């Protein structure tokens, strides 16, 4: 590790002093408090747990008008590499959400499942219950390799996606933190000890041979994808492997580096970036190449400023050529040059589809990934019932949808009937714009949210759908991606329409991203009040209808025309 970095960030100090992720977690768990101290809460992220508070209840007064403490609660992120779960695991998650959470499950856009609203005192029982069904939260959050994404659809592809899934599993196992802290604290397999902090900087061969005392400088995201189906949004990963299939075999992988979307508008040195091609490698090179990139990031990533700690900044500061030379140094030999392969398609895998093994799967649209029982539909109960009746596989997609797999032909009408009985809309009944759109969690749980997102997007789409119908565009597969702050969790910057929360009820509008996810959009309007969003979009869609070339999609049109011409054409339209 570099020794010449002057002031490392507070989080680095917390990690260093934590005795490999132990810190004071066990001690504070034993105390009858509603929340953890700041440093412990920070360390808990490395265990897949975020301390939050109910932001709807902030500032509420008690019965005598006295100020109230925050309504503390935890978000627990369950890691699901490649997005595959059994029916039993889903049932457990569903039951745990009722027992310990806010009675909802949230499928994330990295194929994980989040439980929100968990009280501190319930954490030990919840974590044990997850472990009992073979689930973990280790590596779901924190400065390590996060959940590895891969397409989870069991489509008949000669087993290609199964191979990607196996690769995702291997990479997951390879980069799992080795510290016993997680087992000690949550599975009760030992005592959390009060050992002194390891001297800094030092890579401990004993506890964490790969990560060392300080783990990575920041989160690190890896994905496996296919050029013909970019459902994992591969370019937003720090490290992506794009499989090239020829003659039914995976011939190799295009290695992509440096994707990530988070940025802080006030800090002009930060930016969203898509991953760029680094090399073209054989399947057996995946692990050593991934290890070379991760170690390079470990040793040279920015540990002083967390805003500039992602891999993309190292690449931007060094240039791709030097970055490549450094990766080769870690790897031990030159890397084959990339083939500059681009993505050509994207599947949402919704509706009834044949499986590789002859059975059927149903791709169910889940609005913003939220599985709940609401007055408008009891999705959570319907899925529980289906899991009990048919024992299917459950697969999560990076579009926050859910695939119910391994069903027989005769199950199809029964499954549809269950959804109808529970008031759940079938995917086929959902407009294309809704199917393709998505929002991040934001309020009331996310501590970083500036605006609404998950709770706002459905209403915006309610208004947009009739506008699209008016313009004859209801068949347009348009994607609106929304976030409650510029961190970009909902991946708005490479979407055709990106809405990014910037101030109370005000959003920045990004346009011109590619429907395939391989191009960033541009900032069109920095601050639109929420009630004006749909009228602005309608005026832009009118321009699109008048000036699009044959079968051009909205994102490509905006990109071709550019912001100035778009503004001019939109204002001409208003004058007419």
Q: Looking at residues 153 to 212 of the shown chain, list those that interact with ligand SRM (rule: CB under 6 A).
A: none
> Cα separation of 104 and 376, whole Å?
15
Contact at 8 Å (CB) between 80 and 169?
no
Residues 327, 329, 333: CA angle, nearest 5 degrees: 95
Select 11 or 561, whichever has its Cβ closest to ligand SRM.
Answer: 11
Interface mask toward ligand SRM for 357-396; x: CB under 6 A: ------------x---------------------------
> Binding residue for ligand SF4 (CB under 6 A) from 216, 449, 497, 520?
449
Contacting residue, 453, 494, 518, 538, with ligand SF4 by CB under 6 A: 453
Closer by beta carbon to ligand SF4, 50 or else 253: 50
CB of residue 513 to ligand SRM, shortest distance in Å: 13
Please give the full DSSP string across 243-300, using - where no structure is assigned. EEEETTEEEEEEEEE--B----TT-TT---B--EEEEEE-GGGHHHHHHHHHHHHHHH
Residue 147: name its binding partner from ligand SF4, ligand SRM, none (Cβ under 5 to 8 Å by kind).
ligand SRM
CB of 79 to ligand SF4, least distance (A): 17
Three-state SS string across 128-187, please?
A: HHHHHCCCECCCCCCCCECCCEECCCCCCCCCHHHHHHHHHHHHHHHCCCCCCHHHHHHC
109 binds, among ligand SF4, ligand SRM, none (CB under 5 to 8 A by kind): ligand SRM
Q: What b/e readout covers 462-481, taking b as 16+ CB neighbours within 10 angstroms?
A: eebbebbeeeebeebebbbb
What is the per-residue binding string for ligand SF4 in 485-504, x denoting contact by CB under 6 A?
x-xxx---------------
CA–CA gap between residue 130 and residue 111 (Å, rounded) = 16
SS3 letters for 480-527? EEEECCCCCCCCCCCCCEEEEEEECCEEEEEECCCCCCCCCCEEEEEE
The single residue of 16, 22, 120, 146 carrying the catalytic annotation is 146
Q: Is the peptide bond before 152 cis (omega within 30 degrees of 0)?
A: no
Minimum Å gap between C-beta 77 and ligand SF4 is 12
Give every CB contact of residue 234 below 8 A, 6+ residues apart in sequence. 223, 224, 225, 240, 242, 256, 259, 275, 343, 517
Please give the DSSP secondary-structure letter assigned to residue 67: B
* Interaction of residue 494 with ligand SRM, rule CB under 6 A: no
Two structure tokens written together for 90: 């889903």
Active site annotation includes 489 = yes
* Residue 485 interface partner, choices ligand SRM, ligand SF4, none, CB cut-off 5-8 Å depending on type: ligand SF4
Q: Residues binding ligand SRM: what is the number (CB under 6 A)?
A: 30
Helix (H) / strand (E) containing 386: helix 379-390
Quick check: is 219 catalytic? yes
Cα 279 from chain centre = 25
Phi and psi torsions of 524, nearest 5°? -100, -50
Question: Which range of residues in 178-186, 385-393, 444-452, 526-534 is near ligand SRM by CB under 6 A?
Answer: 444-452
DSSP state, residue 402: E
Sign of the alpha-carbon torsion through 306, 312, 317, 323: positive
Which of residues 85 and 407 has its CB atom nearest to ligand SRM in the complex?
A: 85
Of the candidate residues 12, 53, 112, 184, the single one contacting ligand SRM (CB under 6 A): 112
Check: CB of residue 419 under 8 Å from CB of residue 427. no
Query: Does 445 engage in binding with ligand SRM (CB under 6 A)?
Result: yes
Cis peptide, bond prior to residue 234, ω within 30 of zero: no
Residue 530 near ligand SF4 by CB under 6 A: no
Measured from the CB of residue 25, what is the shortest distance to ligand SRM in angstroms?
18
Collapse the DSSP code of 382 into the 3-class scheme (helix H, G, I; strand E, B; otherwise coil) and give the result: helix
Of ligand SF4, ligand SRM, none, which one does residue 484 interact with (CB within 5 to 8 Å by kind)?
A: ligand SF4
3-state secondary structure of 425: coil
Contact range with ligand SF4 by CB under 6 A, out of 106-114, 214-222, 382-390, 445-453: 445-453
Question: Should residue 150 be labelled a site residue for ligand SF4 when binding is judged by CB under 6 A?
Answer: no
- The entry of ligand SRM, ligand SF4, none that residue 524 binds, CB within 5 to 8 Å by partner kind: none
Length reported for the chain: 576
Q: Which of 141, 151, 387, 489 is catalytic?
A: 489
Tell me how far, at minimum, the Cβ of 261 lies from ligand SF4, in Å: 9
- By CB under 6 A, the residues from 215 to 244 that bind ligand SF4 are none
Q: Is 446 in the site for ligand SF4 (CB under 6 A)?
A: yes
Using DSSP bridges, classify how beta strands 480-483 and 497-503 pair: parallel, antiparallel or unpaired: parallel
CB of 77 or CB of 120, closer to ligand SRM: 77
Choosing from 441, 460, 509, 541, the residue that interacts with ligand SF4 (CB under 6 A) is: 441
Single out the catalytic residue among 15, 79, 161, 219: 219
Nearer to ligand SF4 by Cβ, of 503 and 565: the residue is 503
The answer to whether the beta carbons of residues 311 and 220 sit under 8 Å apart is yes
Active site annotation includes 440? yes
The item of ligand SRM, ligand SF4, none sharing an interface with residue 16, based on CB under 5 to 8 Å by kind, is none
Of these partners, ligand SRM, ligand SF4, none, which one is at the site of residue 434 (CB under 5 to 8 Å by kind)? none
Choosing from 261, 292, 350, 403, the residue that interacts with ligand SRM (CB under 6 A) is: 261
Residue 446 appears among annotated catalytic residues: yes
Q: Which is nearer to ligand SRM, 427 or 445 (CB)?
A: 445
- Are the C-beta atoms of residues 152 and 395 closer than 8 Å to each other? yes
Q: From CA 253, how far away is CA 283, in angstroms rounded?
A: 7
Pick 292 or 489: Cβ nearer ligand SF4: 489
Partner from ligand SF4, ligand SRM, none binding residue 483, C-beta < 5-8 Å depending on class:
ligand SF4
Tokens 């054989």 found at: 282
Are 453 and 410 spatial neighbours (Cβ–Cβ below 8 Å)?
Answer: no
Could you list the residues that contact ligand SF4 (CB under 6 A)? 440-442, 446, 448-449, 453, 483-485, 487-489
Could you list the residues that contact ligand SRM (CB under 6 A)? 50, 52, 75, 77, 108-110, 112, 114, 146-147, 221, 233, 236, 260-262, 310, 369, 440-441, 445-448, 487-491
Active site positions, annotated: 77, 146, 219, 221, 440, 446, 485, 489
């Amino acid at each position: 590790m570099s020794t010449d970095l002057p002031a490392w960030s507070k989080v680095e100090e917390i990690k260093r002093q934590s005795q490999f992720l132990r810190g004071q977690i066990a001690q504070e768990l034993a105390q009858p408090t509603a929340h953890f101290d700041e440093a412990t809460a920070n360390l808990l992220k490395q265990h897949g747990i975020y301390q939050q508070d109910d932001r709807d209840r902030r500032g509420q007064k008690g019965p005598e008008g006295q100020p109230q403490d925050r309504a503390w609660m935890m978000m627990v992120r369950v890691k699901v590499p490649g997005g595959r779960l059994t029916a039993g695991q889903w049932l457990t998650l569903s039951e745990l959400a009722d027992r310990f959470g806010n009675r909802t499950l949230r499928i994330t856009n990295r194929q994980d499942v989040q439980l929100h609203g968990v009280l501190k005192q319930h954490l030990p029982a919840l974590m044990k219950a997850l472990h009992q069904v073979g689930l973990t939260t280790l590596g779901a959050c924190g400065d390590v390799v996060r959940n590895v994404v891969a397409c989870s659809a069991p489509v008949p592809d000669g087993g290609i996606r199964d191979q990607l899934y196996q690769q995702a599993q291997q990479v997951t196992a390879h980069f799992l933190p080795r510290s016993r802290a997680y087992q000690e604290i949550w599975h009760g397999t030992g005592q959390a000890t009060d050992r002194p902090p390891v001297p800094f900087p030092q890579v401990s061969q004993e506890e964490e041979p790969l990560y060392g005392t300080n783990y990575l400088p920041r989160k690190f995201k890896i994905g496996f994808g296919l050029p013909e189906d970019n459902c994992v949004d591969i370019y937003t990963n720090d490290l992506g492997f794009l499989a090239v299939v020829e003659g039914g075999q995976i011939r190799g992988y295009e290695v992509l580096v440096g994707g990530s979307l988070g940025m802080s508008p006030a800090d002009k040195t930060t930016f969203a970036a898509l991953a760029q091609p680094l090399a073209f490698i054989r399947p057996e090179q995946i692990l050593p190449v991934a290890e070379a990139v991760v170690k390079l990031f470990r040793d040279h990533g920015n540990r002083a400023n967390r805003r500039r700690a992602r891999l993309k900044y190292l690449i931007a500061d060094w240039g791709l050529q030097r970055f490549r030379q450094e990766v080769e140094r870690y790897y031990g030999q030159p890397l084959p040059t990339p083939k500059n392969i681009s993505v050509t398609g994207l599947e949402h895998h919704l509706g009834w589809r044949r499986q590789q093994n002859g059975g059927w799967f149903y791709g169910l649209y889940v609005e913003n990934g939220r599985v709940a029982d609401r007055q408008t539909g009891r999705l959570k109960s319907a899925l529980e019932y289906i899991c009990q009746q048919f024992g299917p596989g459950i697969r999560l997609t990076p579009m926050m949808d859910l695939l119910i797999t391994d069903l027989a032909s005769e199950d199809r009408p029964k499954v549809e009937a269950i959804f109808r009985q529970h008031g759940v809309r079938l995917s086929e009944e959902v407009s294309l714009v809704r199917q393709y759109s998505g929002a991040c969690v934001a309020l009331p749980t996310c501590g970083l949210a500036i605006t609404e997102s998950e709770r706002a997007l459905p209403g915006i789409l309610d208004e947009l759908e009739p506008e699209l119908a008016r313009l004859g565009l209801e068949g347009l597969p348009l994607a609106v991606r929304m976030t409650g702050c510029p961190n970009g969790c909902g991946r708005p910057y490479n979407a055709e329409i990106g809405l990014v929360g910037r101030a109370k009820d005000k959003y920045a509008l990004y346009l011109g991203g590619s429907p395939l996810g391989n191009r960033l959009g541009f900032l069109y309007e920095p601050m639109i009040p929420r009630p004006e969003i749909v009228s602005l979009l309608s005026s832009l869609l009118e321009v699109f209808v008048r000036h699009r070339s044959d079968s051009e999609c909205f994102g490509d049109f905006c990109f071709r025309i550019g912001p100035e011409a778009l503004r001019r054409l939109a204002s001409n339209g208003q004058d007419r």
